[in-house]
Amino acid sequence: MFNSRLLFQPGRQLVSRHAPLSPPSITRQRSQAFHATAQRKDGFIEAIVQYPREMLQLLHSTGIPWCATLPLSAFMLRAVLVTTMGSRSRSIQARYLALNPLRQAMTLQTKKDVMASGKFQSPAHLKATVGRASGIEISDLHKRWKCGLRPQLGWTLLQIPIFLTMAETIRKMCNTRQGLLGMAASSIGLGKSEEKVDWTEGTDAAAAIETNEYLEPSLANEGMLWFPDLLVPDPTGALPYITSVLMFYNIWKTKNTPDQMTGFSKGLRRVLLFVALLIGPFTQAAPAALLLYWASSTTSVMLWNVWLDRRYPSPTGFSACKRPLMLMPPPLKARRV
């Protein structure tokens, strides 16, 4: 109850030469070396997750419970990304798709010129020569219209570290020592599952709170529906499968034209669909707060994609000219004089 140092009397004390020295306090050493849920600290990760944590705490400080704070933060973060980089990437994609007829015409014209010159030895050599020649012209075309593939690919890859940062922040707030891979291994029985810590009693709870500054105990009481405790996994196991279905539908609906895709695009799409199906069984050990944010983030992606499709529609194929057609008046009949 009291610190052992307060029991010592101040000032000097004379110790007999023949008096045995008392051993150091074992209890005090154990209390100082004991850590209930000590986590490894990385300066880089700590610096990254600090800002998302402050954003979540700011929203929660307005009186909004955690069951609404997590979906709201996912929607707001997606809104910032879409209205800045997402809009620019979608406009670039619209220009890129609008140049499809011109790219096809340039490729056919290049093939016609190469065949007329006769500078090829076999059909494979003809295909390679046409590919190199048309590639240079198409690259110049993309530079002129500023619609290359790099900005579109960069927008796609940027979303991955942002989601992982938010997931790491919520994981720390839930006092979960395992990462996403560790949770997946625990769900299928390949790793050790974590036990819930009782925050109301025992010295272990006090030590756990002191060692994890990111812990939010209020997450245990501000859930909703069938998962009132956001610090532990969903007791029914339904939330992981809901997230899996949302991910599968989002991937399946996006550019649902497999007949017009290349072999690489078809393979990548199938891999992503398969990974989306694995989210349900592999995230059974994840806390409900993490899965709630994941499902909310996927839902916000689908909603904002609808807005982008209406704001920046992508042209498909040939369409009628938007300019009004000016019809010339019929010529007057020559009058006889």
Domain ranges of the chain: 41-99+147-311
CA angle 275, 280, 281 (to 5 degrees): 95
Residue 290: which of 236, 186, 198, 219 has the closest Cα?
Answer: 219
CA–CA separation, 304 and 66 (whole Å): 23
CA–CA separation, 73 and 82 (whole Å): 14
CA–CA separation, 103 and 108 (whole Å): 9
Note the pTM of the prediction, 2 decimals.
0.68
Q: Are 254 and 135 in contact (CB under 8 A)?
A: no
How far, in Å, are 52, 76, 210 from residue 47 at the CA level? 10, 21, 19
Amino acid 336: pLDDT: 56
CA–CA separation, 30 and 133 (whole Å): 74
* pLDDT at position 169 over 70: yes
User: Is residue 141 very low, low, confident or very high in pLDDT (cuts 50, 70, 90)?
Assistant: confident
CA–CA separation, 223 and 216 (whole Å): 13
Q: Is 311 helix (H, G, I), strand (E, B) or coil?
A: helix
Determine the average pLDDT of the residues in 277-295. 89
Amino acid 21: pLDDT: 46
| 227 DSSP β-pair partners | 224
Q: Is 10 helix (H, G, I), strand (E, B) or coil?
A: coil
Burial class (CB in 10 A: 0-12, 13-18, 19+), 117: exposed
* pLDDT at position 220 over 70: yes
User: Is residue 132 very low, low, confident or very high in pLDDT (cuts 50, 70, 90)?
Assistant: confident
Determine the average pLDDT of the residues in 180-207. 51
Residue 158: which of 168, 146, 170, 150 has the closest Cα?
Answer: 150
Amino acid 256: pLDDT: 57
Determine the average pLDDT of the residues in 30-41. 41
CA–CA separation, 305 and 294 (whole Å): 17
* pLDDT at position 157 over 60: yes
**Average pLDDT over all residues of the chain:** 74
